[in-house]
Structures are given as C-alpha cells and as structure tokens.
C-alpha cells in the first residue's frame, strides 16, 4: 500500500501535466471548428480530425455527393483544423474561377512537397504561375499538336499490336494497364523525345515507377501537417513528398539526363523539353485559335531562362499527370462502349464512314462529332479528379457568402457531374447530351473535367488528341465487349482521383 501511495504521489504531477497537454492539443486542433458556423454556412459537425473520417467509408466521391444532397450548394467541411468551403453552385464557380480570378489565382497547399516540385506550374503562385503558364502554353497550340501527330501515330500502332498480343487467347484484357503504357509512351515521346516502348515491355522500369508514383499516399504527412501546420516545413526539410523516394529519384535521374543531353545537343523537335530550354528566346504570344489562353496577357511577362528546378519539376509533373489522366479516360471509355454496344456501333459507323482505314490525324479526328460527344460524356461520368480548388487572397462576398482571405474553396467535380439537377438520368451513358442543341440548356460551369478558368489544365489539348487518336485507331481494328470478370459498374477508389479500384477487364475482339 505504501508503494502504491508513493507511486500515485510521484506520478500525479506527470498525469496532470499529460492531461493538460492533451487538452491544449485538443483545443489547438479544434480551434477553427466554428469557422463556418460563424459565417452561417451549413455542414456536418467536425470531430478532432475534422470531417476526414467520413472518407474512410464513403470515399471522397461518395462523401461529396452526400454533402451536396444534404446541405446544398455551399458546404463547410474541415480537413483536421483546415476549413474548406465546398462549392457546387455554377454561378459561384463562374464568379470565383473566371470573373474574380485575380482574387483566386492560387491554390492552398497544406501538404509537404519536395523542394523541386515547388516549381511546378500546378503549385507556383501569382506572377510565377503566369510566367510558367506562358512558357508551357505554346507547347499545346494546334500547330504544335499537328507536328506531334507522327509520334502519336507510332504509339497508336504499338497500342494495336499490344492489344492483339493480349487478346489473342480470347481472355480479358485489363484496360488501364494497356492504356497506361500507351499514354506513357506518348508523353515520353511528344514531351521529351524519349522512346520508352512500354507497350512492348509493360514490365519496364518506367511503367513500374509511374504506377508507384501515382499510387502515392498523402495520409501521414498530409494529416500531420493539417493538425500541426509547422510540421510541413519539417517534412519538407526531411525530404518528404507525395511521391515515394524511389520513384521520385528515378524520374529525377531520368529527366536530369534528358535535360543535360538536350543542353549539349539542342533539338528541332517541338516538344515540351526543348520549349522549356528555349523559353528566353520565345515570343510571349498566343496563337489565334488558342482560345484556352486568349484571355491571358502574356506580353508583360519578362523572358528569362527557366531554372533547372523549374524544368525538372514541370517535366516530372507533366509526365505523371499525362500518364494517369488520359489512360483513365481511355479505359473508362472502353468500358462504357463495351456496356453500351449501341453507342459503340454508332461510333464505329462514324469512323468507318469518315476515315475507313485512313490513319488518324489531328485534322480528321477533330471532325468526328460523335467521337467528341463520347469523349465528353466519358469525362462527365468519370472525370480525372474528384475535386479542384482555389484559395481566396482577400475577403470577398459572392452570392451572399463571405469567403475570407486564405480560405480554400473546393469544387466537387464528380458530384456536380452526377447531379440530377444538372443532368437528366446522370448515371446513364448518353453522349448525345453534348449535341449542340442540348448543350444550350447546359450550364457552362457544371462541367469541369479539366478545371475552369485561366488556371485550367494546360495539357488539355494533348489529352483530347491522345484520346481521340487512340480510340479511333483501336476501333478501326477491334470491338470492346464485356467479359465474365468485367465489374459493372466499376468500384472506384476512395481517394481524390477517379480510378477503377479493381481494374477494368474487357474482351477485345478483332473486327471482321
């Protein structure tokens, strides 16, 4: 008893201190949890982790759809102690992303990023972003796209050969792997002059590291940085990143060699790498047909050479983003055509009538209206990401809602694309939604697969071309059909990217 009394006496101050410390930590991480209540914005009650626990069950997509259904077009949620305004009102989206863009130029970045990635166009801010955009935009003009066609044709020919190899025994083919190899080859070739040949060797080191990089987990550094913002700088100093160290070092090493080789032997290729190396010699102009950037004034941007970090970060981000997003769109399109054979027949008929066996080019695939509608409807049902975001620089009131400086505004793309208020029978694959006569009834700002406004996806044109040339070329030779292991509908991952959790398995039958 005396020992017990002594232990209690000795440990009591320690226990009191520990309880006090825990109480202080709790107060710190929940301090902001009345932020939206004070602003009159509805939303679910947050716990110590904010509302992030809901993602474990429903995923980001399911959670967003439920939030919009239950609370409306403006919802307040929390990632730990970080307030996030979830906005799905088209008029507010237009105001934030277009009309008031100067106040919403940047994105809030609570997670740690490797120092090199801080120079990527997707991360940089204000004038640095405008400079980076002015450098990268010329790569994706229609003129440059036409020059890339022979390189893409080589990759589509390899895609057909790969599908022939994988489907020859009549079994199913996992489409994301096949399409991922195709898009990686295209990005490597058109962006950096590399012959990766991943379709001939799907197990090569490029594919392995690309998959590893895109499967990265944000959980530990992201959540810790949300709970304790000062930890972001600590993680960055330690070299933490959203990519695994192995895949990050692989792509840094590859791109470092490519940059060094190109500096020693400049190329006439119209690719991203050479344009970045030549940036200080380029005119800051926008081609007449380049409406994607026509509203941006690049004339006052000072020309200068890009730093090595800027070239490196944009190269790696461009390669990985291009690999994942377009391959996802192609694999989902294959699935949708297999499960909607009438739509597939209609698309094949259009291709046969206008192209026959003629090689796909920039000009002929851009004049296939049903193909365009299939592409847009695929992106409506399965956009590459579940959300995109902007951050307010200054306090502003939009449609009666006060958005305070520093607030992260998120737009739930997937939830908007599946909202019955905007789309009749939203779960159905109906390409004719995008007929000209039907598009007039559609709100411009409820469809956002590549983002909205000046900070939309800079590589959107190349994604369009890659998708269309691949799908046309494949359907000139094959039909997609469901297989016993086709998951209908495909279950989706719970994270922020829209991907099939268990893959997309289809039969690929040779056309007769």
Q: What is the pLDDT of residues 100-142, one digit of tens each?
A: 999 999 998 777 677 667 888 888 999 999 988 888 888 888 8
Instruction: Tell me: pLDDT of 240 over 80.
Output: no
Instruction: Tell me: pLDDT of 387 over 60.
Output: yes
Instruction: Tell me: pLDDT of 331 over 70.
Output: yes
Instruction: Tell me: pLDDT of 323 over 70.
Output: yes
Is residue 193 within 8 A of residue 204, CB to CB? The reply is: no
Instruction: Tell me: pLDDT of 294 over 70.
Output: no
238: left (phi over 0), alpha (psi -120 to 50) or beta: alpha
Report the pLDDT averaged over residues 239-245: 70
Instruction: Tell me: pLDDT of 419 over 70.
Output: yes
Report the pLDDT averaged over residues 195-215: 81
DSSP lists the bridge partners of residue 388 as 411
CA dihedral 115, 121, 126, 131 (to 10 degrees): 110
Report the pLDDT averaged over residues 373-380: 97
Instruction: Tell me: pLDDT of 441 over 80.
Output: no
The band of 396, judged by pLDDT with boundaries at 50, 70 and 90, is: very high
The band of 92, judged by pLDDT with boundaries at 50, 70 and 90, is: very high
Sheet strands side by side (includes 388-391): 74-79, 82-87, 408-411, 388-391
Task: Compare 229 and 283 and report the one with higher pLDDT.
Answer: 229
Which pTM was predicted? 0.90
For the chain, give the mean pLDDT.
85
Instruction: Tell me: pLDDT of 292 over 60.
Output: no
Give the per-residue pLDDT at 165. 93
The band of 440, judged by pLDDT with boundaries at 50, 70 and 90, is: low
- Distance separating alpha carbons of residues 348 and 370, to the nearest angstrom: 10
**Among the listed ranges 106-110, 365-369, 426-430, which one has the minimum average pLDDT value?**
106-110
- Distance separating alpha carbons of residues 259 and 255, to the nearest angstrom: 6
Instruction: Tell me: pLDDT of 288 over 50.
Output: no
Give the per-residue pLDDT at 19. 62
Task: Compare 111 and 310 and report the one with higher pLDDT.
Answer: 310
Give the per-residue pLDDT at 286. 47
**In this prediction, what percent of the chain has a pLDDT beyond 70?**
83
Query: According to the 3-state scheme, what is the secondary structure of 142-201?
Result: HHHHHHHHHHHHHHHHHHHHHHHHHHCCCCCEEHHHHHHHHHHHHHHHHHHCCCCCCCCC
Fill in the DSSP letter of residue 453: S
Report the pLDDT averaged over residues 45-61: 87
Fill in the DSSP letter of residue 253: H
Report the pLDDT averaged over residues 412-433: 95
The band of 38, judged by pLDDT with boundaries at 50, 70 and 90, is: very high
Report the pLDDT averaged over residues 42-70: 91
- Distance separating alpha carbons of residues 162 and 152, to the nearest angstrom: 15
Instruction: Tell me: pLDDT of 291 over 50.
Output: no
Q: How far is CA 121 from CA 58, 135, 381, in A?
A: 31, 10, 27
**Among the listed ranges 118-122, 334-338, 396-400, which one has the minimum average pLDDT value?**
118-122
The band of 24, judged by pLDDT with boundaries at 50, 70 and 90, is: low
**In this prediction, what percent of the chain has a pLDDT beyond 90?**
50
Alpha helices in 215-307 (DSSP H): 219-227, 231-237, 245-264, 272-277
Is residue 377 within 8 A of residue 335, CB to CB? The reply is: no
């Amino acid at each position: 008893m005396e020992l017990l009394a002594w232990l209690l006496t000795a440990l009591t101050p320690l226990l009191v201190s520990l309880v006090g410390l825990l109480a202080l930590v709790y107060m710190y991480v929940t301090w902001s949890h009345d932020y939206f209540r004070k602003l009159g914005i509805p939303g679910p009650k947050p716990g110590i982790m904010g509302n992030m626990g809901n993602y474990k069950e429903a995923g980001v997509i399911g959670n967003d759809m439920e939030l919009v259904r239950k609370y409306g077009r403006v919802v307040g949620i929390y990632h730990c102690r970080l307030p996030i305004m979830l906005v799905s009102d088209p008029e507010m989206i237009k105001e934030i992303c277009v009309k008031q863009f100067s106040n919403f130029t940047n994105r809030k970045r609570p997670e740690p990023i490797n120092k090199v990635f801080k120079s990527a166009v997707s991360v940089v801010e204000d004038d640095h972003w405008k400079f980076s955009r002015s450098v990268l935009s010329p790569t994706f003009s229609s003129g440059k796209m036409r020059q890339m066609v022979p390189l893409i044709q080589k990759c589509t020919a390899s895609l057909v050969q790969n599908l022939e190899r994988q489907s020859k025994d009549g079994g199913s083919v996992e489409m994301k792997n096949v399409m991922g190899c195709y898009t990686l080859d295209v990005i490597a070739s058109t962006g950096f002059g590399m012959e990766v040949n991943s379709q001939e060797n799907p197990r090569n080191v490029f594919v392995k590291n690309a998959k590893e990089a895109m499967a990265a987990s944000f959980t530990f550094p992201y959540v810790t940085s949300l709970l304790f913002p000062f930890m972001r700088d600590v993680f960055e100093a330690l070299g933490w990143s959203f990519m695994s160290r192995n895949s990050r070092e692989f792509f840094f090493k590859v791109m470092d060699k490519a940059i060094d080789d190109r500096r020693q032997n400049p190329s006439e290729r119209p690719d991203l790498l050479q344009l970045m190396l030549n940036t200080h010699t380029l005119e800051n102009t926008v081609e007449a047909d380049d409406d994607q950037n026509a509203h941006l004034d690049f004339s006052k941007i000072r020309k200068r050479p890009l730093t090595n970090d800027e070239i490196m970060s944009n190269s790696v981000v461009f390669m990985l983003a291009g690999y994942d997003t377009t391959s996802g769109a192609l694999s989902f399109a294959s699935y949708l055509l297999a499960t909607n054979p009438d739509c597939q027949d209609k698309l094949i008929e259009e291709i046969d009538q206008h192209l026959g066996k003629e090689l796909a080019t920039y000009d002929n695939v851009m004049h296939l209206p049903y193909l365009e509608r299939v592409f847009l409807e695929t992106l409506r049902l399965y956009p590459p990401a579940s959300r995109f975001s902007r951050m307010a620089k200054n306090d502003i009131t939009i449609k009666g809602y006060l958005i305070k400086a520093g607030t992260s505004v998120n737009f739930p793309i997937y939830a908007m694309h599946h909202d019955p208020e905007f789309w009749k029978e939203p779960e159905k694959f109906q390409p004719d939604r995008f007929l000209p006569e039907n598009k007039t009834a559609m709100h411009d700002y409820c469809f956002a697969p590549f983002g909205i406004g000046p900070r939309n996806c800079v590589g959107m044109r190349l994604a369009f071309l890659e998708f269309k040339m691949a799908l046309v070329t494949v359907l000139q030779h094959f039909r997609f059909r469901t297989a016993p292991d086709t998951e209908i509908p495909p279950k989706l991952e719970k994270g922020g990217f829209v991907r099939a959790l268990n893959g997309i398995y289809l039969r690929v039958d040779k056309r007769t």
